[in-house]
Each structure stands twice: as structure tokens, then as C-alpha cells.
Amino acid sequence: MIISEKEKRTTAYHEIGHVLVALKIPESDPVHKVTIIPRGRALGVTTYLPVDEKHTYSKEYLEATITYALGGRAAEKVVFNNFTTGAGNDIEKATNIARKMVCEWGMSEKLGPLAYGKNEEELFLGREITKHQDYSEKTAQDIDEEVRAIVTKGRNRAEKILIDNIDELHRLSEELLEREILDAEEISKILKGEELPPAKRNGMHNNSDTKEEEVPEHVKKLMEKKNIKSPEQPNTDKGNDSN
Amino acid sequence: MIISEKEKRTTAYHEIGHVLVALKIPESDPVHKVTIIPRGRALGVTTYLPVDEKHTYSKEYLEATITYALGGRAAEKVVFNNFTTGAGNDIEKATNIARKMVCEWGMSEKLGPLAYGKNEEELFLGREITKHQDYSEKTAQDIDEEVRAIVTKGRNRAEKILIDNIDELHRLSEELLEREILDAEEISKILKGEELPPAKRNGMHNNSDTKEEEVPEHVKKLMEKKNIKSPEQPNTDKGNDSN
Amino acid sequence: MIISEKEKRTTAYHEIGHVLVALKIPESDPVHKVTIIPRGRALGVTTYLPVDEKHTYSKEYLEATITYALGGRAAEKVVFNNFTTGAGNDIEKATNIARKMVCEWGMSEKLGPLAYGKNEEELFLGREITKHQDYSEKTAQDIDEEVRAIVTKGRNRAEKILIDNIDELHRLSEELLEREILDAEEISKILKGEELPPAKRNGMHNNSDTKEEEVPEHVKKLMEKKNIKSPEQPNTDKGNDSN
Amino acid sequence: MIISEKEKRTTAYHEIGHVLVALKIPESDPVHKVTIIPRGRALGVTTYLPVDEKHTYSKEYLEATITYALGGRAAEKVVFNNFTTGAGNDIEKATNIARKMVCEWGMSEKLGPLAYGKNEEELFLGREITKHQDYSEKTAQDIDEEVRAIVTKGRNRAEKILIDNIDELHRLSEELLEREILDAEEISKILKGEELPPAKRNGMHNNSDTKEEEVPEHVKKLMEKKNIKSPEQPNTDKGNDSN
Amino acid sequence: MIISEKEKRTTAYHEIGHVLVALKIPESDPVHKVTIIPRGRALGVTTYLPVDEKHTYSKEYLEATITYALGGRAAEKVVFNNFTTGAGNDIEKATNIARKMVCEWGMSEKLGPLAYGKNEEELFLGREITKHQDYSEKTAQDIDEEVRAIVTKGRNRAEKILIDNIDELHRLSEELLEREILDAEEISKILKGEELPPAKRNGMHNNSDTKEEEVPEHVKKLMEKKNIKSPEQPNTDKGNDSN
Amino acid sequence: MIISEKEKRTTAYHEIGHVLVALKIPESDPVHKVTIIPRGRALGVTTYLPVDEKHTYSKEYLEATITYALGGRAAEKVVFNNFTTGAGNDIEKATNIARKMVCEWGMSEKLGPLAYGKNEEELFLGREITKHQDYSEKTAQDIDEEVRAIVTKGRNRAEKILIDNIDELHRLSEELLEREILDAEEISKILKGEELPPAKRNGMHNNSDTKEEEVPEHVKKLMEKKNIKSPEQPNTDKGNDSN
């Protein structure tokens, strides 16, 4: 896969967008590693490290996840004032979490502690299931508004974080363009202004570094809930998917 | 399954939320036992003891059930001012009961003694059934409003009960954190301010104590009615499901 | 099946609610027998005796049927000011008849002599049929309003009859609680204030008395019309179904 | 099949309602015969005689057909001020013709010469077809209004004809009750006040008289058009179907 | 097939309606022949002759086609002030073309150069396809209005042409009644007031004259586009279908 | 396939419409070749040359693609003030891209970074999937408006480019009519006013020139995304499809 310099640059900023937003929100999963070495259809990947195994998720954690998921797109907006199709997965992920917050987990004040759309599905063996919405157009509209409000709030918060930390965004992105991979320690050093040892990996595409990251189990669970179309690497923000 | 102290604490308050709300409403099933020893995907479970086998359910009983189902979430709100995804099952249960009160049992003054959505399903052998709503958008909106009103009333009532009894909520939750299991008698003693014998179970995960509680038959029946997606342990409020 | 005294009492009043309303409306089928000896899932059953075989049904007959179907629920309301889930079948039956009056039999002045929803169903062998509504949301709303008006009128009429005859309601219900079965003649005597011979059946659960009543053929036909989900004993008002 | 005197009487008026309305509208098919000897599920039948085979149908002919189809119900209304379920087929027939006038034959000024609902059905062998409406709710509402207007106009016209000719309605109905069958000639004589020969058929259920009337071919064609659920004897108005 | 004089007359005027409208619009396909000798279910047929094979169709050509398709119905209106069911096919054809103009070919100024309803259909082998509309009710309403406007414009134009040329309409129709078939040359002579040779065909039903007209290939293509339910002889206006 | 001079002319202008619009927008793929030698059902084809392989697509690139896709139709409008059915594919392509910009790629300011309609599809082996819209009518309306705004903007921009460069449009179209094929170099020379060597190909239908153009891989990917009904040659604008 040959990638143009322009796309590489967009990808680096996109990934650092995820990284920087996640770093600035205490409730986020900590960033583990970020890379712009292409893997499969993804031009870049950010992976996260869970502090401890979670079994339930707080509203704040979910809002944080939506926010750093939109961090990549926010970086494209803030730096290049443009969007690419590469944020499609991030958008889908953020929307799905927000919708479940409203429709399953009762986290919208307006809609209240009610379940929406969990209607009766009776499986007759070998026959199909048609899932119908079990609420009115009026309620559908309320749900849409709440979901849109949650995602938009995350978008705005991500953009604000990046604008407030624009220097760090540039510094990290340039370093990522140079080294292609950055781990948590290196990111930390860059942010503190410390010198990094010379990049060895650049251009080498060292296999051991790019081997598939383990997706944290607790994240898999969240995403595997039946209504989220589970992406292959759910808690990695694949910055710029090649479409 | 390793559970963080924070999740354990949230779970204890969630379960005691169910317990305390149920205790304060005369029409509720009496609490039998509550535990925060994890079982399957549930981090905690509250079980109830039916006084006598019921064949029909009064409106007041159903309202009580909705209220104590939302007691866990209410405790999270009142104590931590936050929500977790662990209340998803409680929310679904409360919504389903409220919807049936309105659409099948004629318990909404506004909608009247009419059946909504029980439309003709003719089963042609080996063919599928598509269930269509047989009422107008306007009626769907009325139904939504009534269902939302019933659930919201239960939520408010649960929160008020816990705020009015905030000391008991703390005392019971702390004791549950200490002992991991409390039965009806122990709960009663704690509430009366009596001394409990030293906790023997703590940390032991004694199997005989945690064996699957029998779900009361009369509750199974209510839940098994075809439109309620029967959860495995319907009349146990599994506080914080790990998702 | 063990039934609490409270449920038995509710059931007796529910059944006598059907009986008394039917007796007070000339167009009703005459009551044949009423029992609170449980049968299957039903806690009580009222059966009716057709005067002569009917082939068509007048609007007045249908309105009477809706009214006495709601008589059980009306009795719960008037006497206990509460509702139970046991009226679910009655509600479904009343709604179905009212809907057919509006949509098939042209008995609503507002909707006129039109058929609604009888749309083209072409059966291709071995394939399914999806039934779609063939009218607008506006019409669906008109239909809902008319159906609701018909059922509500029946509900109000049933409640008025019982309030106007509250003494008879108590007298008959107490006697039914005592004897568990009453036939038409006994009901008539009680209403006239005549002495009944001592109850022999009480507690005996005499099989010959409780054997399945024949459902009058003409009623089966009305109910078997394809859009009514035919209950097992359509013209018997099974008072308090155990759910 | 045993029929009560009351039902017989209702049936006679219902059938003569068809007969008299058809006689008074020049565009109607001429009445051939009318009977209240039950046949299958029908308590009475009126059959018509086409003057000549038609291949297309004028708007006036269709309006006449709707009007005399509703003549039976109009007679019940005018004479007994009540309705029975026996008019269900008549209502369906009138509605279907009116709907086709609007949606297929462009006979509504408001909706214009457009086809509504004839949307693309592609038959993939062995697979099903879902028919969706291809117009907006607004258009659906316009269609409903036009269809209702056409049918209501026919209803009003039928009632007016019967009120204007109430004596003939009584005279023919009484004679039909007496003789059970009347043919076109006898009807004509009664209307002219001529004496009929003594009824021979009364009570005899002479087979040769009641053998199945041939349904005129041109009527079969009109009704067999795919969207009309073809009743068994389309151009016979089966007065009071036993349901 | 025996056809009454009245139907024959209506058919002649209906067919000449097509002919005359097509002749007066330059963009129309030229008329090839017109006949009122019945063929299959059609009482009359007009066939057209394409000047040259077309691969694309201009907006003006499509508008012309809609207009002459409605010419038959317009003649019935103008001459007899009545409609028959025989125009059903014409109406469907005009509606389908107008709908495609709006929804596929971007020929409505209001709706713009967008495709409506061409949504994703993924064919899984051996499984069915449900086609859903992918636009809002508001858009559906806009589409309906535009389609109705296009068809209504064609209707008005057809009626105006016939009123403006009412003498020619009568002259051609009478001649067609006389001769049963007219070809392009004969039509032209009649319009110029020239004498025709004596009709040889009248009453003969000469087979060679009535053999199935070739449907021009370019027209088949237009109609065969997947959303148009292809009639057997698409570019022949079968005047009065026997229904 | 015989094509009239008029259609050939329309086709030439249609294709040059694509060419000229693409040339005038920097973000467009560069034009590779254009031809009016018919191929399959297409009367003309324009092919494009990607500068470098793209993996993601910017908003500007997508807007450019919509604009030059509508360039063919714009040329018909500007020069002939008419439309043909030949632009159906262009319209579908432009609509699909615009819809994905709004619903998948978060490129509408109003709708925000949310995914619309990507709802849960669970594939049960061997069973079908029904895709339902998961948003309200209100949102559907917002989406429609945004999609329409994007496409209309592209249409207006295409028309403006052609009006501003009307001389070049005529010059290129006339040359294409003459030579039937033009490659990028020849187009460039014509625009610079340079002399072209005498056309050799005219009328020859040289096979080697008309062999199927390779569709650039990166374009295939964009179009193959599951919601775009992939046309056979997606990044070639087949000007005037024969329908």
C-alpha cells in the first residue's frame, strides 16, 4: 500500500487527535501506543490501555470515549479545516454509544429511565425476525435530539481540547510522522519537552512493533453488546480508514 | 472475575437501593437476601420472597415493582450523582411492565380499557409473522407519554424514599460491603440498630450461600408473558451487570 | 392451584360484575352459570346461554357484549377502586369487537359504511403475506378515536349499572364466594330475595359441575372471524386469569 | 340452519333494499331475482341481470353499483334504525370499487388521472413480494377523503331512494317474507299493484328455484381485477351473511 | 367478444383521442395505425411509428408521451363528459413516466437532479429484498405534487388539443367507426378532407390487418426499465380495455 | 447500434460537460480520455486518471466529484435548454455520494458527526436482513434537505463553470463530434488553440481505442462501499445511456 505524503500527514494529525484528547480527559482509557504504519485497511491506529478491568461503565467514561473517538476528526478540522472519509468508523462508534446511553442505559434526563426499541423479538427457528420500533415519531424525534446533543457536545469538547493544546498537537504529530510509532512513554517525554533517543523504526516497518494489539477484554464486552456492530478492533481508533 | 473497590462500592449501594425501596413500599415482595458476590455477569443480586402465590397482579403491586426495580439506579444517583450501564436490565424491566399496564391491562386512565398492539397474527405453518402496530401515530404518542409517566413516577418515588432514608442507605450499604451477603433478618437487625454477629463469610465466597436463588414461580409467570423478554432471574434485581 | 382469600374475593366480584351487567342489558346473551372454581389458567368463569342461534349481530348486541365483557373490571373498580391484570382478556375482546364495528361493519357514523384495512392479500403458495394498512395516518387516528369511544362508552355503562345495583353486586358476590358456583336459577332467586337450599358444592370441586361448558356455536362464529384472535372460550368471561 | 323470525324479517328488508335501489337507478344492472331462502352462509341473495355484456364500466355504472350495494344496509337503517354485521360484504364491495375509481381509474377530480399504489413489484421466483405504498401520507389522506366521499354519497343516495319509496319497500319486503323468492316479473307486478298468483313455493325450498344463479361474466371480470378480493357471488348482494 | 354499439362508439373516440393528440404534438411518435377491432382484452389499439431509433429521451418527448397517453380519456371527457374504466392502463403509463421524470431523471426543477428511492438493494442469493423508501414524508409529498403537476399538465394539454380540434375528432371517430381500421395515410387524407376509397375491411376482421403490431424496440426499452411494470404492448394505447 | 445525428450531438456536449467541469476544478481527478463511440448501453464515456492512489477522500474531492458528475447534464441544460434520460446514472451517483457525506462521513454541519441509518443488522445465517431507518421523520427531513443542498450546489457550480467557459465547451464538443475520441493531450491542445493532427479514427471504430478503460482502483473502493449500488464503470461518466 503506497500512501501519499499528504495522506500520511492527515493520518498523523488524526491519530494524535485521538491521543491528545484521551490524555486530557481523566476518565479516558490511557493511551498505550499510536502508529501510522498501515495495517489492513487502516492508515493509522491508536490503542488504549485499561487501568483496571471494568464491568460497568459510568456516564462520564462513556462521554470520554465519545469525545476521544471524535478527536481524530477534530484534529483534521482544527488543523486543515477539512474532513476526510477516514472518520466514518469514529462517527459510527460515537453515535452508537450515544444512542445506547439514551435508549438502553437511561442516561438522558429528557427521555428518562426507559428502554426504547427493545421490543419483543420472538425467534421462530429458521424464520426471520423483523425488528420494529415500538415508539412514536414524537419519541423518535426526542431520541434523535438527545443523541445528537450528546455527540455534538463530545465533538465541541474534542475541538476545544485541541485548540487549547495546539502546540502539543503539532509537536506530537510531527514526531509521529518522523517515527511512525509512539508509545505512552515517548508521548509523555515529548509533552514534557524531553529528548527522545534517535528513531530506529522509521521506514523499517518492524513486524514485532506492529503486531496486532490485544483489544482489552472489557472494551470488547461493551462493544459486543448486541446493538453495536462490533468493529474488528473496537477500542483502537483507526484514524484514516482507506475506503 | 476481579472487581475494583470502586465498582464493589457502587454495586453495594445499587443493591441496597433495591432493598430499601422494596422495604418501604408495603405492596412490594419482601426482600429475601442481597449479595455483592458476583454471579455470572451480575456483580450483585437482590432476591425477593413472595408472601403467597399470586395469579393476578394489582396495579399497586406493579407500580411497586417498577419502583424498587429503579431503586438501584436511584441509589447511584442520590449517592454518587452518576449513572452506570449496570441499570440497563432494571430499566428494561420497568419499561416493559409499564408498557403492559397501558397496552394490555387497561391501567391508564387516558388510554382506557383498550388493548393496543394485540393485532391479528395468523400463523401460517413454516412462514413468518410480521407484527404491525395497529394504531395511529397519535395513539402511539399517547402510549409513550403514559408509559413514560408511569416509569418516571416510579423513579421519583424511589429517589424520594432513598433521600428520606439516606442514613439507612449508608448503614446497609456499608454493612453489605463488609459482609457481602445480607439476609432479611440481618437487614432487619441493622435497621433496628441491633448488633450483628461477626461476619464469617467475608472473602470466603461460601458456595452454599451463593447458590442460585429460586425465582418465585408467580414472578416467572408475570415475566414470561410473551411480550416481556424474560431475563434469566426476573425477580432478582441484578444490580450492576457487567456489560 | 392455591388461591389466596383476597384473590378469591376479587375473582368473585369480577365474575359477578360480568353476570350483573349482562342481566341488566336486554340485548345480552342470558347468563347460564358462574363459577370461581379455577379451571386451567382462569380463576373464574361466567358462561352465557344464547336464546336462539344468531347469524348476524345487531349493533346493540355488540355494544351489550362489550359492556358485559368490561363488567368484571368495572366491579373491581367500583368495589376495590383498583385493577388487576386479570382483565387482560376482557379488554382484548372488547377492543376487537369495537374495532370490527368501525372497520368492517360500518357501525361508526364518523367513519361511515367503509371497510378499513381489508386490503389485497394475494397468497402465493408457500410464501408469506405482509398485511399493510391501506389508509392514512389521519384515518388511523379517526379509527382509534371511534374505537376508544365505543369501548369507553361500554366501560362507563358497565360501571353505572354496577353502581346503580351495588347491593345486588355485594349479595351475589358473597353468595358466589360461599357456594363457588351459581346457575341462572340460583342467581334469579338471590336477586328476588328467595332462600337458596344449603350449598352442597362448597369445597367439593364436584367434577360434573365444573366440566367444560359448551361454547354456543353462534358465538364461536362471531369470534372466529379471522381478525379476532379466538380465545379458547370466547363467550365465557374468564374473570381473573392467572398470568 | 334455523333462522329466527326477526332475522328473516331483517333479511327480507335488507334484500329488498338492494332490489329497490337498483330498480330506481337507470344505470344499475336490472334485478333478476331475490330470495331469503338461505344458501351457504348467506341468509338472502339478490341477483342481477346484465342487459348486455360490458367490457368497460362508466363512472355512472360504478356509482350505481356502490349505491345498490349499500341499499341493504340503508333499508336496515331506514326501517329498523339499526345495523347488523350482515352488511360487511356490501361495505367491502362498495369500498373496493370506490378505491379503484380513485386510485386506478382516475375518476376523482381532486386526485386526477394518476395511478396510486401501483408500484413496482418485481417477482423473483420463489421469493416474496412486499407491496409498499408509493405515495406520501398527504396523498393517502386525500385518497381516503375521496373514497369516503364517494361511498358516503352512495349511502345517502340509497337512503333517500328508500325513504322516497318507503311504501314500496314495505310492500315488497312483506311479499318476500311471504313467498321467500321473487323474480323480476313478480316484483314488477307488485310495484304496479297487480295481483300475484298464490305463492306455491312458500316453505317448500324448491331446489330448482334456489339453484346457484349464474354470475354474469362481465361482473366477474370487474370483480376479479386483482385488487378486489373476489367474493364468491360478486354481483349478488348477499343480504345478511351469517358470520 | 360481442361489443355493444355504445362501447364501440366510446372506443372509437378514445382511440382517436390518442391519435389526434399525438398528431398535434411535434415531439410525439408518429401514429402508424388505429383500430377498434378487439384484440385480446383490448377493445381498440393505436400504434405508433418511431422516426428513428432513440437511445435517450428528452423531457419534451416524455411530456408528449404522457399527453397522448391521456388523449383517449380526454376524448371521453370532451365528447361524453364521462369516464370509463378503460383508461386504467393509460393512467398507469402516464403516472409511471412522470414519476421517473421526477425520481430518476432529475427533470423536476423543485426536486432537482437527485435520485429518489434508488436505495441500496443487496441481493443475498435466495433471499428476499425489501425495498424501502429512503426519503422523508416531506420529500414524498414534494414528489407527489410534482408528479401530479406533470400528469395534470398533460391532461389539460390533451383536453385543450381536442377541444381546439373538435371537428377533426368527430370526423376521424366516425370514419373509424365505419372502417374499424385507419392507417396513417387514411388519417392524413381524412384530415385534408380528401375522399377515401370505399372501406373494404368493414366487418371482415381481416386477419392480415389485425396481426400483432411490432412494438418499436426503442419504446420497449424505455418501458422495460425496471420500475415500469411493462405492459404487453407499451407503445400502443389500448383504448378501452375490457376489465 | 445506429445513433441519430441529434443524439450524437447531445452525447458529445454531455461528455464534454463532464470533461470541462473536471478540468476547471483542481480537486477533480484529471480527465484521461473521452469518447462518443458507443460501448454497451453507453453512448459516450469519459474516463479519469487518478494522480495518486487515495485511501481517504476529502470533502472537497467529494464535492468536485459530484460537480463533474453533473457536468454532462449541465451541458445539456446550458446548450440545449433541455434534459434527456441519459443523465440518470450521473444523478444517482451524485445523490449517493452526497447522502454518504451526510449520513456516514459527518460532513454536514447541520447533521453533525453522527451516523444515520447504520443500524444493527444481525445476520442470522440463511435468513434475510431487513434494514430499517433508525431515526425520526424530522431527522429524515433534515437529511433530505442537506443532501439536496449539496447536490444542488454541485449542479449550480457545474452550470456556472460551463457558462463561464461556453466557447471552450463548443470548441471541444465540435472536435469530439469530428474525432469521436479525445485524449488528455488533445484536449489540452484544443484548449490552447493548437492545431491537432488530422483525425484518423473518425468512423473507423478502431477496436484498440475503444477497449474497456481500466477503472482506477481507488475509485472502485469508494463506490464499492456497501451502500452505493456500484455501477459497472463508476469513475467513468457514461454520458447518455441508452435506456
pLDDT at C199 over 90: no
Q: Are A56 and B132 a contacting pair at CB < 8 A?
A: no
Touch of C by D (3+ CB pairs closer than 8 Å): yes
Active site positions of A, annotated? 15
Which chain E residues are within 8 Å of F73, Cβ to Cβ? 106, 113
Would you say how long chain D is, in residues?
243
**Nearest CA of chain F to the CA of A198: how many Å?**
30
Q: Is residue D229 part of a domain?
A: yes
Which chain D residues are within 8 Å of C106, Cβ to Cβ? 73, 83, 87-88, 91
Active site positions of D, annotated? 15
User: Which of F53, F100, F108, F114 is the best mutation test for A, with the most CBs of A within 10 A?
Assistant: F114
| D14 vs C2 pLDDT, higher one | D14
Over the stretch B87-119, which tens digit does the pLDDT of each residue have? 989 999 999 999 999 999 999 999 999 999 844
Q: 3-class secondary structure for chain F?
A: CCCCHHHHHHHHHHHHHHHHHHHHCCCCCCEEEEECCCECCECCEEEECCCCCCCCCEHHHHHHHHHHHCHHHHHHHHHHCCCEHHHHHHHHHHHHHHHHHHHCCCCCCCCCCCCCCCCCCCCCCCCCCCCCCCCCHHHHHHHHHHHHHHHHHHHHHHHHHHHHCHHHHHHHHHHHHHHCEEEHHHHHHHHHCCCCCCCCCCCCCCHHHHCCCCCCHHHHHHHHCCCCCCCCCCCCEECCECC
pLDDT at D147 over 50: yes
What DSSP assignment string belongs to E68-102?
Answer: HHTHHHHHIIIIIS--BGGGHHHHHHHHHHHHHHH
Query: Could you give the dihedral angle defined by the CA atoms of residues E191, E193, E195 and E196, in that order, rounded to the nearest 10 degrees?
Result: 10
pLDDT at A174 over 60: yes
pLDDT for the residue B236: 61
> Cα–Cα–Cα angle for C68, C72, C74, nearest 5°?
90
Name residue B45's beta-bridge partners. Answer: B35, B238
pLDDT at F50 over 80: no
Which chain F residues are within 8 Å of A136, Cβ to Cβ? none
Q: Is residue D102 part of a domain?
A: yes
Find, in chain A, the residue whose alpha carbon is nearest to that of B93.
A115
Over the stretch B141-161, which tens digit does the pLDDT of each residue have? 999 999 999 999 999 999 999
Q: Is residue B243 part of a domain?
A: no
- The number of angstroms, rounded, from the C-alpha of F150 to the middle of its chain's C-alpha atoms is 15
pLDDT band of A95, cuts 50, 70, 90:
very high
ipTM entry: 0.81
Over the stretch D45-91, which tens digit does the pLDDT of each residue have? 999 987 666 788 999 999 999 999 999 999 999 999 999 998 989 99
User: Which of C51, C54, C56 is the best mutation test for D, with the most CBs of D within 10 A?
Assistant: C56
Contact partners for chain F, using 3 or more CB pairs closer than 8 A, are A, E
Q: Which of E15, E175, E180, E186 is catalytic?
A: E15
User: Which of B13, B128, B237, B243 is the best mutation test for A, with the most CBs of A within 10 A?
Assistant: B243
Q: Is residue F196 part of a domain?
A: yes
**Nearest CA of chain F to the CA of E106: how many Å?**
7
pLDDT band of F133, cuts 50, 70, 90:
low
How far does chain A reach from its first CA to its final CA, in angstroms? Answer: 13
CA atoms within 13 Å, Cβ hemisphere of B13: 24
pLDDT at F231 over 50: no
**Nearest CA of chain F to the CA of E128: how many Å?**
7
Find, in chain C, the residue whose alpha carbon is nearest to that of D141.
C136
Nearest CB to C148 within list B104, B105, B114: B114
**Range list of H helices, chain C:** 5-24, 59-69, 71-75, 88-103, 137-164, 166-179, 184-192, 207-210, 217-224
- How many whole angstroms separate alpha carbon E220 and alpha carbon B88? 58
**Nearest CA of chain E to the CA of D129: how many Å?**
8
- Residues in E whose CB is inside 8 Å of some CB of F read 52-60, 62, 104-107, 111-116, 118, 120-122, 124, 127-128, 130, 132, 134-139, 221-222, 225
Nearest CB to C136 within list D92, D95, D144: D144
The secondary structure element, H or E, covering residue E210 is helix E207-210
pLDDT band of B120, cuts 50, 70, 90:
very low
- Residues in D whose CB is inside 8 Å of some CB of E read 52-60, 62, 104-107, 111-116, 118, 120-122, 124, 126-128, 130, 132, 134-139, 221-222, 225
Q: Is residue A34 part of a domain?
A: yes
Q: Which range among C91-105, D132-146, E223-237 shows the weakest confidence by mean pLDDT? A: E223-237
Contact partners for chain E, using 3 or more CB pairs closer than 8 A, are D, F
Touch of D by A (3+ CB pairs closer than 8 Å): no
CB D216 within 8 A of CB D61: no
pLDDT for the residue C2: 79
pLDDT band of C226, cuts 50, 70, 90:
very low
pLDDT for the residue C54: 76
Over the stretch C106-117, which tens digit does the pLDDT of each residue have? 999 999 999 998
- How many whole angstroms separate alpha carbon F87 and alpha carbon E112? 12
Q: Helix B88-103 vs helix B137-164: angle between axes, to the nearest 10 degrees?
A: 130
| B41 vs E24 pLDDT, higher one | E24
What DSSP assignment string belongs to D161-182?
Answer: HHHHTHHHHHHHHHHHHHHSEE
Q: Is residue D243 part of a domain?
A: no
Find, in chain D, the residue whose alpha carbon is nearest to that of E69.
D113
Q: Are C60 and D70 a contacting pair at CB < 8 A?
A: no
User: Which of C60, C109, C114, C223 is the best mutation test for D, with the most CBs of D within 10 A?
Assistant: C114
**Nearest CA of chain D to the CA of E128: how many Å?**
6
Touch of C by F (3+ CB pairs closer than 8 Å): no
> Total domain count for chain D?
1
Single out the residue of B121, B118, B115, B87 nearest to residue B101, CA to CA. B115
pLDDT band of D3, cuts 50, 70, 90:
confident
Which chain A residues are within 8 Å of B132, Cβ to Cβ? 132
pLDDT for the residue A205: 44
- How many whole angstroms separate alpha carbon E95 and alpha carbon E66? 8
Residue type at F140 in one-letter notation: A
Q: Is residue E243 part of a domain?
A: no
CB D86 within 8 A of CB D241: yes
Domain of A87 in residue numbering reads as 5-108+148-238
Q: Classify residue F98 as left (phi > 0), alpha (psi -120 to 50) or beta.
A: alpha
Beta strand A45-48 with A31-35 is: antiparallel
pLDDT at F85 over 70: yes
Touch of A by B (3+ CB pairs closer than 8 Å): yes
In angstroms, the Cα distances linking F180 to F7, F31, F35, F38, F202 are 13, 16, 5, 10, 6
Residue type at E124 in one-letter notation: F
Q: Are E55 and F227 a contacting pair at CB < 8 A?
A: no
Residue E208 has a CB neighbour count (10 Å cut-off) of 5
Which chain B residues are within 8 Å of A115, Cβ to Cβ? 88, 91-92, 95-96
What CATH number does residue D12 fall under?
1.20.58.760
**Nearest CA of chain E to the CA of F193: how many Å?**
32
Q: Which range among A17-31, A217-231, E190-204 shows the weakest confidence by mean pLDDT? A: A217-231
Over the stretch B32-51, which tens digit does the pLDDT of each residue have? 999 999 887 788 999 998 76
Which chain C residues are within 8 Å of D7, Cβ to Cβ? 54-56
